[in-house]
Amino acid sequence: DIQMTQSPSTLSTSIGDRVTITCRASQNIGSWLAWYQQKPGKAPKLLIYKASYLETGVPSRFSGSGSGTEFTLTISSLQPDDLATYYCQQYDVYSLTFGGGTKVEIK
């Protein structure tokens, strides 16, 4: 199975900051990567697919980049509504696998 490793596991930051989360794949997955946002007690929400394509309705402060084995999710200016846990997911190969998550919290 492809292992997905996210860093950091927790990110303490401030409103208005630029936030970057990294996701690394254990083998080349091309651009077959998605990012999700999950708030406590809620289902995950799709933010980005195919590494850099913004899902309809997602604010433009979210962006994704990367290919191969290294990917990033960037929030250009953190808003209070962005406090959540973020997951990456590869869909190049079955079994589909997720990263361990990055919790974004206020410093």
Decide: residue 67, CB within 10 A, 0-12 exposed, 13-18 middle, 19+ buried: middle
Copy the structure tokens of residue 35. Answer: 């990012």
10 contributes a contact to other proteins by CB under 8 A = no
Distances in whole angstroms, Cα of residue 25 to Cα of each of 30, 79, 101: 10, 28, 14
89 contributes a contact to other proteins by CB under 8 A = yes
Looking at 13, 36, 58, 59, which residue binds other proteins (CB under 8 A)? 36
What's the min distance (Å) between Cβ of 77 and other proteins? Answer: 25
Q: Which helix (H) or strand (E) holds 28?
A: none
What's the min distance (Å) between Cβ of 51 and other proteins? Answer: 11
Q: Which residues bind other proteins (CB under 8 A)?
A: 1, 32, 34, 36, 38, 42-46, 49, 55, 87, 89, 91-101
